[in-house]
Each structure stands twice: as structure tokens, then as C-alpha cells.
Amino acid sequence: MVRFLHTADWQIGMQAGHVGKAARKLRRCRLDVARRVVEVARGQDADFILVAGDTFEDNAVEGLLVQQVADILAAFGGPVYIIPGNHDLLAPGSVWEHPAWQEAGNICLLKEPVPLEAGSGVTLYPCPVTEKYCRADPTAWIEAAGNRRICIGLAHGSLEGVGADSDELPISRQAPGLRGLDYLALGHWHSTFLVEGPDGVARMAYCGTHETTRFGERDSGNVLMVQIEGRGEPPVIAPLRTGILTWEKVALTLRSNDDYRDLVRQVENRPAADRTLLWLVLEGLLAPEASIHLKRLEQLLEARFFYGRVDDGGLVPSPQDQEWIEALPAGYLQQAARKLLEQAAAGEQRRRQVARMALEELYMIAREVGA
Ligand SMILES: [Mn+2]
């Protein structure tokens, strides 16, 4: 029986320009969560850790960061097997030449595609990345079918035929069956994804990045704990959450002061704001008190949140004054607007409400077409 932790895509040293002033915090966070990964491995009694590439953002990251990452992995104590990915590929001058890797006795940097007898009755089949762009399946060399030990592959690339960059390091969906592997630990995709074989059993998986890297990234911030009872047995794969940040992009349509007030209240009451990156995309009307509420929003985001962003370019002035009606082309359009304005001002409440909404619609259309 073997039990191990599968992680990848730490992207340490990521510039993170997309979160502006929070970039430094975000970079530090990725290191902190790397420490959490090692704690999880220890807490889960993992026999070893597999790191399936892109540990670093690129090969130009500072030596200091390389040392810090090596120290984090060294703290595990047990064996750590690591392959270079396409971001930190094995090449002259790469991060893998740093003396820290040699110094750490428990870290095994896998530089060549050759089988390695690891502990716990396991043979590892590593597929280190040595070229940035490669159209060949990096697992093609593996022939594990005749091996009686538990056979685990470690590779970095895309699933063949899936996604925009699928011809970069394309890995066959049938890789475990074709190569005779009990499990294929994959890196490159940031979302956790278990790839089921024809028999419905997942023998290959993307663990995903240990901490989410951007808005809209689905199901990231995890590691996988994998347990295999013996050769040929289906792996038991359990995702465990390691990420601490929540990335949320919200699109909202605001019309009245009440809408603005509700939004401010929601942001005020938001739990765990210091671990939340919130991106508000606002559309609709600039209500009379909008600027007061927008200022309050920005203050809250800056003071309490890990990162906040408000896109208010979609908000247009509301039809409070009548100038815009005068600017409409004379004729039925202007008449309709005047009539709606009258109805919005007096009469039965429901009727007034409908008239106001219609007026707002007309106002928005008028702005859009530049009437
Ligand atoms: Mn990659």
C-alpha cells in the first residue's frame, strides 16, 4: 500500500500584476500555502510528495525564492519527487541548478525520463519538461506493463485534444492503460480534474494549483491525497483544500439609492474579507447618492479586503433632469418620454413605478444610440 500527496503549479514568483497593489501579498501567500501543503502531507502521513511541474513561474525567479521553496519541501522530511514543468523547464541556467536542491537530502529532482525505484514498493516514471513547446506525448517512453511494483507516472502537459493549448505537451487520455501505470500525476492545468478511463476509474488526475491564481479559475486551491492498495488496484483519490483565498467576480445592475445601500451593506458584512479578492462590475444608473456609496465601497474594499476592484464605467447618469428629453429627436420619441415623465411623477403607485422603469429603459437606449 502506498499513500502520497500530489501537488503542482505553485507558480512561485508569479508577478501577479492583475491584482495591482496586492501583488506582493499574493506572492507571499503562494509561499505560505506551499507550507500548508507540506503540513497536509505530514498530517496525512504521506509516504512521499509528488510535485508535477511549474513549481516556479519561470527560470528567472530570484535565488532567494528558490532557497525558500527548497526549505519548505525539505521540512517534509520524507521523500519529495519533483519534475520541471514548462514554466521552469530543465535547461542551462534554470532554477534547478541552485545548490539548495543538492543540499536538501530528501528532495529528489527527476531530470531524466528513466524509471526510478522509490520506497513503498513504487516505481516512478518521471517525464521532466526540457523544451518549452513540444508536440510529443511526454509519457510515450513509459513501458510499465511488465513491472510488478506499483507504477506511478509524473508528467506535465495538456490532455490531448482538450483546451486551447492541447497540442503543447499532449498527454493521451488513455495514458495509464497504454503505459501500464496505476496512477499518472499530472501538472499544468490549474483546476483539479480527475480523468476517468474507459472503465470509469480515474487513474490519472490534475491536482490543480495549491492556491487560486486568478478570477474565474474553477476548482483550484487543492492538493490530491492518493492511496493505492497494490499493483492494479484502483487509486483512491481525495482532493483536499489548501488554498486560503476566495476570488469572486460579481456583475450587478444598480438603479436606485436602495440598490447602492444594499450593496454597501453586503460588502460591510462580508466575512473573511481579508482573504477575499472581490471584483465588482457595476451597470445601471448613477442614483442621486451613488457617489457617496461608491466612495464608501472603495474604502471598504481597500481597508478590509485582500484585494478589491470596482468597475463603474457601466453606470450612466440617471434621468433625473429633463435635459436629455430635450435632446431627443422631436416627434414620437420625445412625446413618449414626456408622457412617461408625467406618469412617473403622479398617479397610482404601481403605474408610477412602471412608468419610471420604462423611462429608465428609454434613457439607457437613448444614451446607447447617442440620440
Ligand atoms: Mn505548465
Which of 309, 258, 253 lies closest to 285 in space, CA to CA? 253
78 CB burial (10 A radius; 0-12, 13-18, 19+) = middle
Q: Ion ligand 1 — residues with CB under 5 Å? A: 54, 85-86, 188
What separation in Å is there between the alpha carbon of 327 and the centre of ligand 1? 55
Decide: 57 and 213 in contact? Cβ < 8 Å: no
Grid coordinates belonging to 59: 527560470
Which pLDDT score, from 0 to 100, does residue 289 have?
85
Please name every residue paired with 193 in a beta bridge, in sequence order, or none if there are none: 206
Q: What are residue 143's phi and psi, to 5 degrees?
A: -130, 90
CA R_g for the chain: 28
Question: Pairing state of beta strands 202-206 and 193-196?
Answer: antiparallel
CA within 13 Å, CB half, 188:
28
Grid coordinates belonging to 53: 511541474
Which pLDDT score, from 0 to 100, does residue 302 have?
96
Domains of the chain, by residue range, sit at: 2-241, 246-369
Cα separation, 224 vs 238, in Å, equals 5
What separation in Å is there between the alpha carbon of 25 and the centre of ligand 1? 23
Fold of 2-241: Purple Acid Phosphatase; chain A, domain 2 (3.60.21)
Label residue 270 left, alpha or beta by phi (over 0 means left) and psi (-120 to 50 means alpha): beta
DSSP H/E element including 154: strand 150-156
Please name every residue paired with 290 in a beta bridge, in sequence order, or none if there are none: none
What is residue 76's DSSP assignment?
T
Q: Is the dihedral of CA 172, 242, 131, 153 positive or negative?
A: negative
What separation in Å is there between the alpha carbon of 281 and the centre of ligand 1? 30
Which pLDDT score, from 0 to 100, does residue 349 have?
82
Q: What is the pLDDT of residues 174-216, one digit of tens each?
A: 999 999 999 999 999 999 999 999 999 999 999 999 999 999 9
What separation in Å is there between the alpha carbon of 84 and the centre of ligand 1? 9
Decide: 15 and 57 in contact? Cβ < 8 Å: yes
What separation in Å is there between the alpha carbon of 99 and the centre of ligand 1? 24
What separation in Å is there between the alpha carbon of 58 and the centre of ligand 1? 10
Grid coordinates belonging to 299: 474604502
Q: Which residues of the chain have pLDDT under 50?
A: none
Which of 148, 240, 152 lies closest to 204 in space, CA to CA? 152
85 CB burial (10 A radius; 0-12, 13-18, 19+) = buried
What separation in Å is there between the alpha carbon of 154 and the centre of ligand 1? 13
Q: What is the pLDDT of residues 272-286, one digit of tens each?
A: 999 999 999 999 888
Which of 184, 307, 295 lies closest to 237 in space, CA to CA? 184
Q: 3-class DSSP state for residue 310?
A: strand
What are the distances in angstroms from CA 230 to CA 122, 161, 196, 199? 9, 31, 19, 18
Label residue 208 left, alpha or beta by phi (over 0 means left) and psi (-120 to 50 means alpha): left
Cα separation, 364 vs 317, in Å, equals 9
What separation in Å is there between the alpha carbon of 144 and the centre of ligand 1? 25
Calculate the CA dihedral of residues 105, 108, 112, 115 and round it to 10 degrees: 110
What separation in Å is there between the alpha carbon of 184 and the centre of ligand 1? 16
Which pLDDT score, from 0 to 100, does residue 287 have?
80
What separation in Å is there between the alpha carbon of 85 and the centre of ligand 1? 6
User: What's the pTM value of the predicted model, to 2 decimals?
Assistant: 0.87
Calculate the CA dihedral of residues 152, 102, 90, 212 and round it to 10 degrees: 70
Question: Pairing state of beta strands 48-52 and 2-7?
Answer: parallel
Which pLDDT score, from 0 to 100, does residue 213 have?
97
161 CB burial (10 A radius; 0-12, 13-18, 19+) = exposed
What separation in Å is there between the alpha carbon of 87 and the centre of ligand 1? 6
Which residues have a Cβ under 8 Å from the Cβ of 151 and sit 6 or more positions away?
122, 123, 125, 144, 180, 181, 182, 231
What separation in Å is there between the alpha carbon of 354 and the centre of ligand 1? 54
